[in-house]
Amino acid sequence: MITEAVQERENYLNASHGIKSWLLTKDHKRIALLYLHTITFFFFLGGIFATLIRLQLLTPKGGLVSADTYSKLFTLHGVIMIFFFLIPSIPATLGNFFLPMMIGARDLAFPRINLLSWYLLVIGGCFAMYAMLAGGVDTGWTFYVPYSSNYSNTYVIATGLGIFIAGFSSILTGLNFIVTVHRMRAPGMTWFRLPLFVWSNYATALIQVLGTPVIAITLVLLICERTLHIGIFDPARGGDPVLFQHLFWFYSHPAVYIMVLPGLGVISELVSVFSKKPVFGYKVVAFSSVAIAVLGFLVWGHHMFVSGQSVYAALVFSFLSYFVAIPSAIKVFNWTATLHGGSISYATPMLYAFGFIGLFTVGGLTGLFVACLGVDVHVHDTYFVIAHFHYIMVGGTIMAYLGGLHYWWPKMSGRMYPEGWAKLSALIIYLGFNLTFFPQFILGYLGMPRRYWTYPDEFQVLHVMSTAGASVLAVGYLMPLIYFMWSLRYGPIAGPNPWGATGLEWRTASPPPAHNFEETPVVTTDAYDYAALAAMEEAKVG
Amino acid sequence: MGSDLPLFPVQASSVAASVDHLVYFLLAVAVFFSVGIFLTIFYFAVRYRRRSESELPVASHGGMSLEILWSVIPFGLTMIMFVWGASVFFTISRPPDDAQQIYVIGKQWMWKLQHMEGQREINELHIPVGQAVKLTMTSEDVIHDFFVPAFRTKADVLPGRYTTTWFKPTRPGKYHLFCSQYCGTNHYAMIGWVYVMEPQDYQAWLSGGATGSLASSGEKLFQTFACANCHHLSGAPGRGPDLRNLYGTQVELADGAHVKFDEDYIRESILNPSAKVVKGYQPIMPTFQGLVTEENVLQLIEYIKSLTPQEARPPAGATAATSSRKSAKQ
Amino acid sequence: MDSHVEAPELQEQFETPAQQKEVSTLGMWIFLVTEIMFFGGLFMAYSVYRRAFATVFGMASNTLDVWLGAANTAVLLCSSFTMVLAVRAAQIGSRKALIVFLILTILLGGVFLGVKAYEWNQKFEEHHVPGPSFHLEGTGAQGPAQLFFSLYFTMTGLHALHMVIGEALMLFLLWQAYTGRYTPSYYTPVDIGGLYWHFVDIVWIFLFPLLYLIARHQH
Amino acid sequence: MHEHVDSIKTYTLVFLSLLALTLATTVVAAIDLGPFNVVMALFIAVVKMMLVALFFMHLRHSTVLTKVVVGGGMLWLGILLVLSLADFVTRGWLPVPGK
């Protein structure tokens, strides 16, 4: 459908035709679009589960679905959203499309491996879908043993295999990005001229490479435990279920940063472009991404404060957790400072950026509550935690993802999206999100435990608010789906650089040619040098 | 229903207020920073809105002093949170010496609670107000979690070992007990009530329907399983160690390591006898896995504990912590 | 317009063959880092349980045949030696030597797997496979003893799986070498295949003492 | 392209050292060194690893970046081991079951 949009000039979309030219493509831009379709599918699938969960919780006694189904719903919601949407979301679509372009490369270092990553995600997704259709899985996305190993009668193995395979997709994407950033930069593109989106994707890639193998081995052990009864986590044989939690969170905490770091990179781009100013404290922001990636590996035990972990280990993990707060805070302060004295546009991507900063701030600050030992004992495994991580992942990652999608849409498709509708949907999403998740902070502090099929009557008011918010949110998410598709045919033609942005991706046509650039670009200025851009435009006109 | 919508849960234990005070501090910091950021962004967005497409603002690249300022101030605040949170956490983690012992067994999907005096309860816990209560907990199957929001305490209940939580109720009343670690389909139904009673009401409640104390049930089991055939309680040499006056002490193992003779060690020695054998004895004790229930194990533990008089037990708390740390280093 | 240096094996995203080789090697090393972390999870589980059940782990470890383990270590080291000579042969463009050393590597890898299979089979005969019929003489702690063997089987099993993948890789290299694909200016696959093979060797270098030797002095 | 081609002699020497170290670790394991048995076994394994990595995997001729990658991998393995063991080692320091 996209191919019909722009026909005058050869670009990556019309360079070749037919289903085979897509399924066997090595072009990072086409692979990014394959990912885009795949994760959009998983996003709405996970969204359907979320909707059913919220509808069930409308009344204290529920009754929409059975307890068994409910357990499967929240498990699949978590599994699909985390492993098949959030983790690939920004790196595999926007990162895949723009990281090579931003550094002036013709493609990623390993184009075939890039395509393989997409296939692995799809195959992993098929396993998860099989588990879903065959009868579901009910362990929670955390797969805690011994429930998942010895007690659950659901499709744990198929789901585990799905995540295992999708994990390799993530590893290979990360590996590809690291090598590409190190070895494929255009002449003159030094490390400190890299756009911050590249820095944050690089930091993300480090986590993908260093963390994901650990979840892989954890799942292998879980699958062995279920099939061969090897007993590594079996308490009856002296096995320790807490060991599983260490292995699980060694990956799954840094995985939070796999999900949010690329979003932080998107926001740095948006804040700069739409205020026409270089990001305040560029180097500090760049290093803070790497710092988050590194420190993110030292804090996993804060998911285990009440798990039977030693109090001294809890002490260490709480202490280290506060260190992650600093680079995150630095980013927020620097974005705010970037706005000072800028030329601030209210284009849709910027609205998403504003929304992101607000929600990420709330998510981050409530993170201080759960990192705080004395408070976490009370709020752990309650709706407070649910609200906290949705503020980071939905309020953070998805806002950034949508912001980035709007920002780069003209480059990807060659067409502009309808600005009015886009602004409206951004507003609806922001309001719907807050109405859905803010009440959950209060619910959690009141003691509402997570993963409950029914609940005491006194919690109903807050649950009703949350469900109402979720329906608003659903409308907000459906709107972009519709108007993006509309814009492919009817959107105004976008020029090569509709936003007046400085990145190399804007120096080539929209949509870009198959090899990105007519000539390998030579970089002579820092990222976000708007004065140089203006001078260049002037020279071109003159 | 809407009119009495609470924003904070009831404070019904000695630690509840201290947790809430910490939360007030965190809230103040969170509100200060989020409102500050919101207002600044809003102000900048209006003040510096784009007036023409061609305008080019002056580039500012950053300032080290500002960066340092907004790194150091949050860092200082987070360190306050850490220290304060850790001190509350240690209070929550360390039961006072005078705490009354209650045993908890979690299973899919119910709570079984046992009082020392022998009363057993299911999904209900009756305790007197003003008396610290220490729960020693284990699970028969998967991981559960004992959570009483009004007390602000929570601890996972694990299969294969013991975990502890404690609270000192300060207000008579009826409070929610939740399982807060997902444990399967009926996780939502693994709930109950904690009844905090006036002491005299509690005494009245206690006097009804007990079948003998935990320790006395344990003694009966000790005889049924003929434990005394090897574990002579008379001082005469036996094939197993004399179990008197051992609880709370460090015992030396065959391989030279030391282990604390506590609930977990007694449990392991009943179910996995050869895992840690006391120096001077052979690994000949048979396992009782499958012969005893988790309840039986608790009764035996309570009996074995009763073989060590209260005054012979090393005090819990700081001194014991240091001594065991020393031995851990050896 | 295109600044490509003409070279038959150069893929279109690269500027020069040197860049291509560097990128492939770097990619392989990063992949090996993921392998370190993959096995790392097992090493962590091993450390935790060995610490908790030192005595039983020692007894269980002492049932393994140490000389068979040592001999197998030597076999694997030999295969690494022939592998590095294969890479060297590729570097200097000696196709014949490359083929010979690749065949030797494959054979030695096969010997290692054969010995491993023999050892596994012994475990089945001695009832040292975790499960209902498991029995380890001389201890009542059958549970923790099973943990040792669970770790033994997972660690050596995953290592053997990597060996099998390595063998497949070597067969591919052999076929390519036979058809004369590799020249002194293009032998990257041999090089990175070698990296993989040596890495698998290193994993075994650690598995051998951890599984076979920890309690030998108490024998 | 400039490539280091090491001599067969170098490789042979490394190979023989590896065999010798294997024999050494097997023999030393039979001697009771107390806690140092583990230390010795791991020390020899690390030396063997270094030999294989530096010579057979040509790490000594590699770029700084490759060395950083390998060092990073080892460091992260260390993080995994040390911080997890921080839990298991300190259990029981507070004389309360499960703390």
Q: Tell me the pLDDT of chain A averaged across its residues.
A: 94
Listed in sequence order, the DSSP H helices in B48-154 are 64-93
Domain count, chain B: 2
Contact flag C51-D63 (C-beta cutoff 8 Å): no
Distance from the Cα of residue C100 to its chain's centroid = 21
Q: Which of A243, A246, A310 sits opposite D90 (nearest CB)?
A: A310
Higher-pLDDT residue of B243 and A60 is: A60
Residue B318's pLDDT band, with cuts at 50, 70 and 90, is very low
* Nearest by CB: D87 against A214, A297, A301: A301
- Per-residue pLDDT tens digits for A84-140: 999 999 999 999 999 999 999 999 999 999 999 999 999 999 999 999 999 999 999
The predicted pLDDT at position B277 comes to 84
Classify D22 as helix, strand or coil. helix
Give the chain A residue nearest B89 (alpha carbons). A374
Burial class of residue C5 in the structure, from the number of CB atoms within 10 Å of its CB (0-12 exposed, 13-18 middle, 19+ buried): exposed
C43-85: per-residue pLDDT in tens?
Answer: 999 999 999 998 889 999 999 999 999 999 999 999 999 999 9
pLDDT digits (tens, 9 = 90+) for A265-279: 999 999 999 999 999
Q: Subunits with at least 3 CB pairs below 8 A relative to chain B?
A: A, C, D
Contacting residues of A for B162, CB less than 8 Å apart = none
The answer on B107 and B30 residing in a single domain is yes
The ipTM estimated for the assembled molecules is: 0.91
Question: What are C186's strand-pairing partners?
Answer: C183
pLDDT exceeds cutoff 90 at A380? yes
CATH number at residue B246: 1.10.760.10
CA distance C30 to A176: 10
Q: Which amino acid is at B137?
A: M
* Domain span at B287: 214-329
Q: Model confidence over B113-158: pLDDT tens digits?
A: 999 888 889 999 999 999 999 999 999 999 999 999 999 999 999 9
DSSP result, C105-118: HHHHHHHHHHHHHH
Closest CA to B193 of B150, B158, B155: B150
Q: Do D65 and C206 touch (CB under 8 A)?
A: no
Statement to judge: residues B141 and B235 lie in one domain: no
Q: Would you say the C-alpha torsion A56, A62, A68, A74 has a positive or negative sign?
A: positive
Name the token pair of A42: 């998983």
- B220 and B301 fall within a common domain: yes
B282 and chain C in contact, CB less than 8 A: no
Of A176, A183, A240, the CB nearest to C19: A183
A317, two tokens: 């993990």
The 10s digit of each residue's pLDDT in A476-533 is 999 999 999 999 999 999 999 999 999 999 999 999 999 999 888 999 999 999 999 9
Tell me which residues of chain D, numbers 41 to 60, contact chain C at a CB-CB cutoff of 8 Å: 41-42, 44-45, 48-49, 52-53, 55-57
pLDDT 10s digits, D37-68: 899 999 999 999 999 999 999 999 999 999 99
Give the residue from B91, B92, B164 with the most D CB atoms within 10 Å of its CB, the best one to mutate: B164
Q: Is residue D53 within 8 Å of residue C194, measured between CB atoms?
A: no
Say what the pLDDT of residue B119 is: 86
Mutant choice from B272, B274, B276, B287 vs C, greatest count of C C-beta within 10 A: B274
Q: Considering just the CA atoms, what is the radius of gyration of chain B in Å?
A: 27
End position of a domain, from candidates B211, B246, B265: B211
With 0-12 CB in 10 A as exposed, 13-18 as middle and 19+ as buried, what is C121?
exposed
Assigned domain for B44 exists? no
Is the pLDDT higher at C11 or at A456?
Answer: A456
* % chain A with pLDDT above 90: 92
- 3-state DSSP of A272-303: HHCCCCCCCCHHHHHHHHHHHHHHHHHCHHHH
Residue B80 has what pLDDT? 96
Asked if residue B321 belongs to a domain, the reply is yes
Q: Give contacts of C91 with chain D, Cβ < 8 Å.
A: 3, 5
Q: State which of B180, B211, B242 marks the end of a domain.
A: B211
Helix (H) or strand (E) run with residue A365 in it: helix A348-371
Overall average pLDDT of the B156-170 stretch: 94
Residue C167: HSE in the Cβ half-sphere, 13 Å Cα cutoff:
16
Please state, in angstroms and rounded to a whole number, the distance separating the CA atoms of residues C210 and A356: 49
In chain B, whose CA is at the least distance from the CA of C51? B257
Residue A456: is it exposed, middle or buried by C-beta count within 10 angstroms (0-12/13-18/19+)? middle
Chain B contact set for A325 (CB, 8 A): 74, 78
**Would B51 be classed as within a structural domain?**
no
Q: Give the neighbours of chain A: at least 3 Cβ pairs within 8 Å.
A: B, C, D
Using the CB atoms, write b or e for A126-143: b if 16+ within 10 Å: ebbbebbeeebbbbbbbb
Whether B220 shows a pLDDT value over 90: the answer reads no
pLDDT of residue A5: 47
Residue type, A231: G
Domain-embedded: residue B58: no
Nearest to A426 by CA among A490, A353, A362, A359: A353
Q: How confident is the model at residue A381 (pLDDT cuts 50, 70, 90)?
A: very high
Contact call for D83 and A312, based on CB within 8 A: no
Q: Does D39 touch chain C (CB under 8 A)?
A: no
Kindly determine whether residue C37 and residue D5, on different chains, have CB atoms separated by under 8 Å.
no
Chain C positions touching A114 (Cβ under 8 A) are none
Judge whether B55 lies within some domain: no
Q: What is the DSSP string of chain C?
A: ---PPP-TT--TT-SSHHHHHHHHHHHHHHHHHHHHHHHHHHHHHHHHHHHHTHHHHHHHHTTS-HHHHHHHHHHHHHHHHHHHHHHHHHHHT-HHHHHHHHHHHHHHHHHHHHHHHHHHHHHHHTT-SSSTT---TT-S-HHHHHHHHHHHHHHHHHHHHHHHHHHHHHHHHHHHHHTT--BTTB-HHHHHHHHHHHHHHHHHHHHHIIIIITTGGG-
Instruction: Give contacts of A301 with chain D, Cβ < 8 Å.
Output: 83, 87
The pLDDT, as a whole number, for residue A483 is 96
Where helices occur in chain B by DSSP H, the ranges are: 16-47, 64-93, 199-206, 214-224, 263-271, 294-306, 318-329
- Residue pair A399/A356 in contact by the 8 Å Cβ criterion: yes
The span from the CA of A408 to the CA of A266, in Å, is 10
| CA-closest candidate to residue A103, choices A28, A161, A185, A206 | A185
In A, residues 248-277, which contact C (CB 8 Å cutoff)?
250
Position A423 scores a pLDDT of: 97
Interface touch B147/A277, C-beta < 8 Å: no
Which residue do the tokens 């492919």 mark? Answer: A488
Please say whether the beta carbons of C56 and C141 come within 8 A.
yes
Classify residue C18 as exposed, middle or buried by CB count within 10 Å of its CB (0-12, 13-18, 19+).
Answer: middle
Integer Cα distance of A6 and A488 in angstroms: 9
Q: Tokens for A36, please give them.
A: 């885009």
* pLDDT score, position C5: 45
* The residue to which tokens 């009754």 are assigned: A63
> Is B62 close to A282, i.e. CB distance below 8 A?
yes
Structure tokens at C81: 């030696």
pLDDT of res. C107: 97
Give the span between the Cα atoms of A311 and A536, in whole angstroms.
60
Identify whether B4 is part of a domain: no
Q: Do C158 and A212 touch (CB under 8 A)?
A: no
Looking at the structure, tell me whether residues B76 and B119 fall in a common domain: yes
Instruction: Using pLDDT thresholds of 50, 70 and 90, give the confidence band for residue B227.
Output: confident
Q: Partners of B111 in the beta sheet?
A: B106
Q: What is the CATH number of the domain that holds B198?
A: 2.60.40.420
Put simply, whether B260 touches D (Cβ < 8 Å) is yes
Q: Decide if A65 contacts A20 (C-beta within 8 A).
A: no
| Alpha-carbon distance values, C49 to A311, B213, B214 (Å) | 20, 37, 33
List the single residue in B with minimal CA-CA distance to C137.
Answer: B283
Q: Which residues contact A532 (CB under 8 A, 6 or more apart)?
A: A502, A524, A525
> For residue D7, what is the DSSP state?
-
Rounded to whole angstroms, the Cα distance separating A231 from B272 reads 15
Query: What strand order describes the sheet that includes B133-139?
Result: B120-122, B110-115, B100-107, B133-139, B163-167
Q: For each of chain C's 219 residues, which pLDDT tens digit applies?
A: 344 445 567 788 788 888 888 899 999 999 999 999 999 999 999 999 999 998 889 999 999 999 999 999 999 999 999 999 999 999 999 999 999 999 999 999 999 999 999 999 999 999 999 988 898 887 778 888 999 999 999 999 999 999 999 999 999 999 999 999 999 989 999 999 999 999 999 999 999 999 999 888 876
By Cβ distance, the residue of A297, A298, A310 closest to D87 is: A310
CA distance C150 to chain A (A): 5
Question: Are B9 and B173 in contact, with CB atoms under 8 Å apart?
Answer: no
Nearest to D96 among B93, B325, B328 (CB): B93
**pLDDT of the residue at B2:** 41
Query: Averaged over A283-312, what is the pLDDT?
Result: 95
Is the separation of the CB atoms in B113 and B122 below 8 Å? yes
Name the pairing type of β-strands B120-122 and B110-115: antiparallel
Q: Give the closest of D89, D93, D98 to B324, CB-based.
A: D93
pLDDT of res. A537: 84
**B147 and A447: CB-CB below 8 Å?**
yes
In A370-409, the residues whose Cβ lies within 8 Å of chain C are none
Q: Which of B192, B211, B230 is the last residue of a domain?
A: B211
Chain A, residues 195-234, CB within 8 A of chain B, namely: none
User: How far apart, in whole angstroms, are the C-alpha atoms of residue B120 and residue B118?
Assistant: 6
Closest chain D residue to A293 measured between Cα atoms?
D76
Closest residue in chain C to residue B284, using alpha carbons only: C140
- Determine the pLDDT at residue D1: 40
Q: Can you list the domains of chain A with their CATH numbers?
A: 20-541 (1.20.210.10)
In chain B, which residues have their Cβ closer than 8 Å to the Cβ of D96? 93-95, 164, 316
User: CB C139 to CB B272 under 8 A?
Assistant: no
Question: For an interface test with C, which of A237, A246, A310 has the most C Cβ atoms less than 10 Å from its Cβ?
Answer: A237
CB pairs under 8 A between C and D: 141
* Interface contact D98-B316, CB threshold 8 A: no
Ramachandran quadrant class, A528 (left: phi over 0; alpha: psi -120 to 50; beta: rest): left
C77, C108, C186: best mutation site toward chain D, by most D Cβ within 10 Å? C77
What number of other Cβ atoms are within 10 A of residue A493's Cβ? Answer: 13
Q: Chain A: give the shortest CA distance to residue B263, in Å.
A: 15
In this predicted structure, the answer to whether residue A196 has a pLDDT above a threshold of 50 is yes
Nearest by CB: B328 against D93, D96, D98? D93
Distance CA A533, CA A539 (A): 10
- Distance from C-alpha of C139 to C-alpha of B286, rounded to nearest angstrom: 10
Distance from CA of D99 to the nearest CA of B (A): 7
- Predicted confidence at residue C4, as pLDDT, reads 43
Residue A336 has pLDDT above 90, yes or no: yes
| Torsion angles phi and psi, residue B197, rounded to 5 | -115, 155
The b/e string for B308-323 (b: 16+ C-beta within 10 A; e otherwise) is: beeeebbebeeebbee
Distance from CA of D61 to the nearest CA of C (A): 12
Contact C144, C53 (CB under 8 A): yes
* β-pair partners for B148: B153
Asked if residue D35 has pLDDT above 70, the reply is yes
Tokens 């900048």 correspond to: B44
Task: Give the model's pLDDT for residue C176.
Answer: 95
Per-residue pLDDT, B266: 87
**How do the domains of chain D map onto residue ranges?**
1-61, 63-99
What is A100-144 written as a DSSP string? HHHTT-SS-S-HHHHHHHHHHHHHHHHHHHHHHHHT---S-TT--
Neighbours of B206 (CB within 10 A): 16
Any idea what DSSP says for residue B285? P
Burial class (CB in 10 A: 0-12, 13-18, 19+), A463: buried
The pTM score is: 0.92
C80: chain D residues, CB-CB within 8 Å: 15, 18, 52, 56
Let me know if domain C17-218 sits in CATH 1.10.1040.50.
no
pLDDT at A307 over 50: yes
pLDDT for residue A64: 92
**Residue B264 falls within a domain, yes or no?**
yes
